[in-house]
Amino acid sequence: MDARTKAGRAVRIGGASGFWGDSSVGAPQLVRHGEIDYLVFDYLAELTMSVLAAARLRKPELGYATDFVTVTMKSLLKEIAQRNIRVVSNAGGINPKGCAQALAAIAAEQGVDVRIAVVEGDDVMPLLPALRESGVQDMQKGRPLPDKLVSANAYLGALPIRQALDAGAQIVITGRCVDSAVTLGVLMHEFGWQPGDYDLLAQGSLAGHIIECGCQATGGLHTDWESVPDWPNIGYPVVACRADGSFLVGKPPGTGGLVSTATVGEQILYEIGDPAAYLLPDVTCDFTAVTLAQAGPDLVEVKGARGRAPGDRYKVSATYVDGFRCNAQLSIVGFDAVAKAERTAQAILARTRALFAAHGFGDYSRTHVEVLGAESCYGPHAQTRHTREAIMRLAVMHPEKAALELFAREISAAGTSWSPGTTGSGGGRPSPSPSIRQYAFLLEKDKLSPTVLIDGEHRPVAMPAAVPAAAAPAPAPAPAPAPAPDAPPGAADFEQVPLIRLAYGRSGDKGDISNIGLMARRPEYLPWLRAGATPERVAQWLGHLVKGPVARHDLPGIHAVNLVCEQALDGGGMASLRNDPLGKGMAQILLAMPVRVPRGLLP
């Protein structure tokens, strides 16, 4: 069928993976029960690129998500071919050609004739000498380019994927691309959308954004987790997209999970910054007027995304080695478990520092102590200081691996040396590993030339002329402010409740930035949500974690706000020594913040 014939029907796309390590049940469920036309996979969280870079350091033939080939496609390739399902995956990581070669070998073994295309052109490593000479700086802190980069890959968009599908590829493997591009590329191919159809591209990107994290769109991580049925059999998301850009979010019949305006709304808020200027390679999205409607049981209709020109630069995610790191854990049982855990950690640090000096090593680069079970992540708001069971977690960094090998040997001594009730070292002696950190910067689009490799031929991708991004439109008027919650007059008419009574919450990460999306449980709660969760109050409540400014953006179409917290994750990803380097718990911590509302507002 050509695009005009297909325009009369919805194209069904199943999102089988939200990260490298997601469950193996997603792809078989969607292939066998989702009635899908396309199966898309997102493997490349920012942290994953660091992991893949480390893998390629050990073995040059690696650097891609091996599970995509050896687990998923090996078991499903014949069924996918028989059902005429096409596959788009960014499993190629920093070695997409190697991923395609491994998959082609399996197809040959199974006697499956399949056309595989590879999207290349995201590798920025050859440009590094010129970029270093030009004085490139990172996006967040203005730091110069590190001396020894392990990888540097640009976030490509959907046009190369579209071209691969137009050329007849049944499986498209990309390297680094934006997560939503695996879906947008399908829709551009199916409906003939053009590079200048910005509103359509914004809607298609939103469809991809909703399904890019697997079950997070179908009840996974939902604030009201107890309302989500059948976790073991949770359904993976399916979007049914129309030529006008509108789409329905659902899941395979008979599966668990929940698709509601709340679960879809939470995912819209996940890992975005300014919702009026969500920057992608193909389009600058404006999600502020997006609306959600419950179209049936476990079915939500999404409309209203708008778009404008995307700008003339790609984001580049680079990784570099910065010494070594090691994490150690010990369980502490009994009275005063938290105090005993803290003293144990300090004893280990003091002893190993003395040993370092004796061996000629310098001090640690960084250290971080947390007591899990004592609500360390809540800081001054913790309520379990007197728990009788806790886990001492000690994370350290050092320029030399030998120093951390010495550190690792000293952990088990705590079992007989110090606190009573010390047990459980969390899987034996810890092992030092390279500390691979991220470095993000912007690169002019005309510096790269994406290509599609299919049937042994490299085909250049025609890219539209890059122009600077247009300024964002003036924001829509904010909802009318509620009366100040702490106003003295009529104080007896107010009550104090935790923020979770007013809102759903979802948090995510971009480097060292944590975004916390809050969606009002009812439209009439939004003014009180805004009055209680001001940037100033949020910065104060999270002050033990967030060291930079907090900005707030409105999404009136879904009765929500997005709070963007800078310097919030101790560096983020593999640079962070925290137990929660990706900010997954940030929304939960914020939802405990007390806010004042009129009595009778809440049921």
Q: Are 255 and 235 contacting, i.e. CB atoms less than 8 angstroms apart? A: yes
Distance CA 50, CA 57 (A): 11
Three-class SS string for 235-284? Answer: CCCEEEECCCCCEEEECCCCCECCCCHHHHHHHHHCCCCCCCCEECCCCE
Region of residue 348 (left: phi > 0; alpha: psi -120 to 50; beta: else): alpha
The dihedral through the CA atoms of 329, 335, 339, 340 has a sign that is: negative
Q: Look-up: residue for tokens 């120093």?
A: 403
For the stretch 290-330, pLDDT in tens is: 999 999 999 999 999 999 999 999 999 998 989 999 999 99
Q: Are 229 and 274 contacting, i.e. CB atoms less than 8 angstroms apart? A: no
Averaged confidence pLDDT in the chain: 94
pLDDT exceeds 70 at position 270: yes
pLDDT exceeds 80 at position 358: yes
**What domains, with CATH codes, occur in the chain?**
3-121+156-310 (no CATH), 326-437 (3.30.70), 491-598 (3.30.1360)
Q: Which helix (H) or strand (E) holds 352?
A: helix 337-359
Distance CA 237, CA 250 (A): 6
Give pLDDT, residue 482.
56
pLDDT exceeds 60 at position 6: no
Q: Which helix (H) or strand (E) holds 80?
A: helix 74-82
Task: Compute CA 512 distance to the chain's CA centroid, rounded to the nearest angstrom.
Answer: 12
Lowest-pLDDT range of 82-96, 184-198, 425-439: 425-439
Distance CA 185, CA 207 (A): 11
Reported confidence tier of residue 492, pLDDT bands at 50, 70, 90:
confident
Name the percent of the chain in helix, strand, coil, to the closest 5.
35, 25, 40
Residue from 465, 480, 460, 463 nearest 554 by CA: 480
- CB atoms near residue 15 (< 10 Å): 35
N-terminal to C-terminal alpha carbon distance within the chain: 53
pLDDT exceeds 50 at position 461: yes
Question: 194: exposed, middle or buried (C-beta count within 10 Å: 0-12, 13-18, 19+)?
Answer: exposed
Give pLDDT, residue 573.
85
Between the CA of residue 218 and those of 27, 29, 112, 181, 413, what are the distances in Å?
15, 14, 33, 20, 46
- CB atoms near residue 65 (< 10 Å): 29
Torsion of CA 300, 304, 305, 306, to 10 degrees: 170
Give pLDDT, residue 38.
98
Q: Are 397 and 315 contacting, i.e. CB atoms less than 8 angstroms apart? A: no
Give pLDDT, residue 491.
63
pLDDT exceeds 50 at position 3: no
Reported confidence tier of residue 480, pLDDT bands at 50, 70, 90:
low
Give pLDDT, residue 5.
38
Reported confidence tier of residue 264, pLDDT bands at 50, 70, 90:
very high
Lowest-pLDDT range of 169-183, 378-392, 531-545: 378-392
3-state secondary structure (DSSP) of residue 196: coil
Tokens of 135: 């004085």
Question: 47: exposed, middle or buried (C-beta count within 10 Å: 0-12, 13-18, 19+)?
Answer: buried
3-state secondary structure (DSSP) of residue 297: coil
- Alpha helix ranges (H) inside 135-180: 159-166
For the stretch 131-149, pLDDT in tens is: 999 999 998 888 999 988 9
For the stretch 536-594, pLDDT in tens is: 999 999 999 999 999 999 999 999 999 999 999 999 988 899 999 999 999 999 999 99
Backbone angles phi, psi at 522, to 5 degrees: -140, 145
For the stretch 435-459, pLDDT in tens is: 988 899 999 999 999 999 999 999 9
pLDDT exceeds 70 at position 489: no
Give pLDDT, residue 357.
98
Give pLDDT, residue 4.
34
Distance CA 67, CA 76 (A): 12
Q: Are 91 and 173 contacting, i.e. CB atoms less than 8 angstroms apart? A: yes
pLDDT exceeds 80 at position 340: yes
For the stretch 505-551, pLDDT in tens is: 999 999 899 999 999 999 999 999 999 999 999 999 999 999 999 99
Task: Compute CA 96 distance to the chain's CA centroid, rounded to the nearest angstrom.
Answer: 21
pLDDT exceeds 60 at position 485: no
Per the DSSP assignment, residues forming a β-bridge with 117 are 172, 454
Torsion of CA 457, 460, 461, 467, to 10 degrees: 170
Contacts of 533 (CB under 8 A, 6+ apart): 499, 503, 518, 552, 561, 563, 590, 593, 595
For the stretch 28-57, pLDDT in tens is: 999 999 999 999 999 997 768 778 877 887
Within 13 A of 402's CA, how many CA atoms are on the CB side? 7
Lowest-pLDDT range of 25-34, 428-437, 496-505: 428-437
For the stretch 70-96, pLDDT in tens is: 999 999 999 999 999 999 999 999 999
Tokens of 101: 């070669």
Lowest-pLDDT range of 159-163, 251-255, 319-323, 516-520: 319-323
Distance CA 380, CA 577 (A): 20
Percent above pLDDT 90 for the chain: 86
Tokens of 250: 């659902």
Q: Are 70 and 20 contacting, i.e. CB atoms less than 8 angstroms apart? A: no
Reported confidence tier of residue 427, pLDDT bands at 50, 70, 90:
confident
Per the DSSP assignment, residues forming a β-bridge with 519 are 504, 560
Give pLDDT, residue 48.
82
3-state secondary structure (DSSP) of residue 496: strand
Distance CA 370, CA 364 (A): 17
Helix crossing, 96-110 with 74-82: angle to 10°?
70
